[in-house]
Amino acid sequence: MSTKEKILDAALTLFAENGYDGTSVEQIASIVGIKAPSLYKHYKGKEDILNALIDSAETRYEEMFGSENNIGKVPRSRREFIKVTMERISFTMRDPIIRKTRMLLVQEQFRNERISEATTRHQLDGIQRMFAKIIKGMMDEGLVKKDDPKLLAVELTAPAVLQIARSDRQPKCEKECMEYIEKHLRHFCKVYMA
């Protein structure tokens, strides 16, 4: 891991635990094992580190989870839909970088406009638009009953987002949350899939 990557890793952990304002450049440098002035060789300051973290997490999420511009292959069956969706949710809940980033976003969403927008995109708007496209594609294939894909996306994603938030607050409930999400997906499929 390069020094630049170590800085991001340390900053993400500290920001997730202490918040942005509760973390100093000196603390980040100390964890990395460098002096604070050396950190400035890699980043202009704490805000530059924060922006690099957000950019990195967004890229990781786009690659591993998807987005409305990257929905992947439209599932061809109920089984495939549940499998792919649960894989995405598992990544979201268990990936340590995404989990820490989510903790940072939740804490800082009221203090930073960029973080507020990213939080809304990943927990509401973006995820719903992505699943609306997936559901529309499945409707076009005759797998999902004709309905409003945007409303179905809200119905599909809202319980999952709530369970992920619960798991973040109460990590010991992760298994229970995953089971609830899978049960919800199966119910959704039973109601709306042909």
Residue 131: exposure state from Cβ atoms within 10 A (0-12, 13-18, ≥19): buried
User: pLDDT of 26-45, one tens digit each?
Assistant: 999 999 999 999 999 999 99
φ, ψ dihedrals at 6, nearest 5°: -65, -40
Per-residue pLDDT band at 183 (split at 50, 70, 90): very high
pLDDT at 185 over 90: yes
pLDDT at 114: 87
What are the sequence ranges of the domains in the chain? Answer: 1-53, 65-192
User: pLDDT of 135-180, one tens digit each?
Assistant: 999 999 999 999 999 999 999 999 999 999 999 999 999 999 999 9
CATH topology of domain 1-53: Arc Repressor Mutant, subunit A (1.10.10)
pLDDT at 92 over 90: yes
Give me the chain's average pLDDT, please. 94
Nearest to 14 by CA among 51, 59, 50: 50
Residue type, 182: E
Per-residue pLDDT band at 112 (split at 50, 70, 90): confident
1 contact partners, CB below 8 Å, separation of at least 6: 9
pLDDT at 118: 87
pLDDT at 78: 94
